[in-house]
């Protein structure tokens, strides 16, 4: 079984302050690992460090990736080893390029012989719930809703054919109905293509719905890691207990009324 090990990732800011501290995670084909933690805990920087897309003012000071225990260079992984889905789809697309041009660019970059209007590509667009894909090709990002752009980002992720997927808060900006639909599509995608997925979220409902395993991050460190069921039933670290208590309090409040 092919697995991907993300090992000993550390990130510092320009003052040398640790923002991500020695994080190790393993992705398995067909499985979803959730990275969950409060806002500002270091989730996005962990993704950025693994994808070599850290923002200015931060740098990776340690870390390596290994595919089936063979080291792979981090500066070569984005789009090859990993497909990515980001939180805000609007910033992920070039406003001057049509859907067709975005598809063309992704297919070309991955050496695919397919064209944007190839039946296989149109099928992927309709698989993620984009209707009338042929007409969609001529649209520009500003002519599409956030939900449509998020689906397009998932379609592009599928077309990269990368074996692993990193999704950083992919549904945080969407309403609950759309969130559920996108999460269902992601689950289907993981099973169909046997992708290994890192799902970043601050939301324990999303964790419960999606994840096989969970890693809890706090102040740049993974404080607890385990199977989703056992982590929900028996959280051992105080941070996990605190986050879960906040999660359940929301439901209890509603059922008390």
Ligand X SMILES: Nc1ncnc2c1ncn2[C@@H]1O[C@H](COP(=O)(O)OP(=O)(O)O)[C@@H](O)[C@H]1O
Q: Quick check: helix, strand or coil at residue 88?
A: coil
- Structure-token match 């939900």, residue found: 147
> Minimum distance from CB of 48 to ligand X (Å)?
7
Near Mg ion by CB under 5 A, which window of 38-46, 92-100, 146-154, 184-192? 38-46
How many residues touch Mg ion under the rule CB under 5 A: the total is 2
Write the DSSP assignment of 110-178 as a string of letters. TT----TTSHHHHHHHHHTT-SSHHHHTT--GGGS-HHHHHHHHHHHHHHTT-SEEEEESTTTTS-HHH
- Least Å from the CB of residue 56 to ligand X: 6
- H or E segment and range at residue 71: strand 70-72
What, of Mg ion, ligand X, none, does residue 123 touch, CB below 5 to 8 Å by kind?
A: none
Least Å distance between CB 214 and ligand X?
15
Q: With contacts defined by CB under 5 A, name the span among 1-9, 25-33, 37-45, 98-106 that binds Mg ion.
A: 37-45
In 186-247, at which residue ranges do the beta strands (DSSP E only) sit?
196-201, 213-218, 221-227
Stretch of 18-26, 39-47, 136-144, 181-189 contacting Mg ion, by CB under 5 A: 39-47
Binding site for ligand X (CB under 6 A): 13, 19, 37, 39-45, 55-58
From the list Mg ion, ligand X, none, which binds 41 (C-beta under 5 to 8 Å, kind-based)? ligand X
Q: Which is nearer to Mg ion, 168 or 224 (CB)?
A: 168
CB 221 within 8 A of CB 22: yes
Strand partners of residue 222: 217
Question: Residue 215 Cβ, how far from ligand X at the closest point, in Å?
Answer: 12
Phi, psi of 168 (to 5 degrees): -95, 105
Nearest approach, Cβ of residue 39 and ligand X (Å): 4
Kindly tell me which residue out of 6, 20, 41, 44 binds Mg ion, with binding defined by CB under 5 A: 44
- Which option in ligand X, Mg ion, none does residue 81 bind, with CB closer than 5 to 8 A by kind? none
Q: Round to whole Å and give the CA distance between 40 and 215.
A: 16
Which among 40-48, 124-132, 158-166, 214-222 is the span making contact with Mg ion, rule CB under 5 A? 40-48
Q: How far is the CB of 215 from Mg ion (least distance, A)?
A: 15
Q: Give me the 203-232 binding string for Mg ion, x by CB under 5 A, dash otherwise.
A: ------------------------------
Expressed in angstroms, the distance from the first to the final Cα of the chain is 49
The whole-angstrom separation of Cα 99 and Cα 102 is: 5
| DSSP H or E stretch at residue 256 | helix 238-256
Which residues contribute to the site for Mg ion (CB under 5 A)? 43-44
């Amino acid at each position: 079984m092919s697995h991907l090990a993300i090992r000993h990732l550390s990130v510092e800011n320009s003052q040398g302050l640790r923002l991500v501290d020695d994080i190790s995670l393993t992705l398995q084909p067909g499985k979803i690992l959730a990275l969950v933690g409060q806002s500002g805990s270091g989730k996005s920087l962990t993704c950025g460090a693994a994808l070599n897309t850290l923002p200015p003012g931060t740098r990776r000071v340690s870390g390596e990736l290994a595919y089936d225990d063979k080291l792979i260079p981090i500066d070569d992984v984005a789009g090859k080893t990993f497909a990515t889905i980001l939180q805000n789809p609007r910033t992920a697309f070039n406003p001057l390029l049509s859907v067709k041009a975005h598809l063309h660019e992704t297919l070309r970059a991955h050496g695919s012989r397919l064209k944007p209007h190839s039946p296989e590509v149109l099928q992927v667009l309709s698989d993620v719930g984009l209707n009338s894909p042929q007409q969609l090709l001529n649209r520009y990002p500003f002519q599409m809703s956030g939900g449509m752009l998020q689906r397009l980002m998932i379609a592009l992720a599928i077309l990269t054919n990368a074996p692993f997927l990193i999704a950083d808060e992919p549904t945080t900006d969407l309403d609950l109905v759309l969130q559920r639909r996108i999460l269902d599509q992601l689950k289907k995608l993981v099973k169909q293509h046997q992708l290994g997925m890192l799902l970043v979220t601050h939301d324990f409902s999303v964790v419960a719905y999606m994840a096989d395993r969970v890693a809890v991050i706090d102040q740049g460190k993974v404080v607890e890691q385990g199977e989703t069921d056992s982590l929900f039933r028996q959280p051992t670290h105080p941070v996990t207990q605190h986050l879960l208590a906040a999660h359940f309090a929301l439901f209890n409040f509603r059922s008390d009324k």
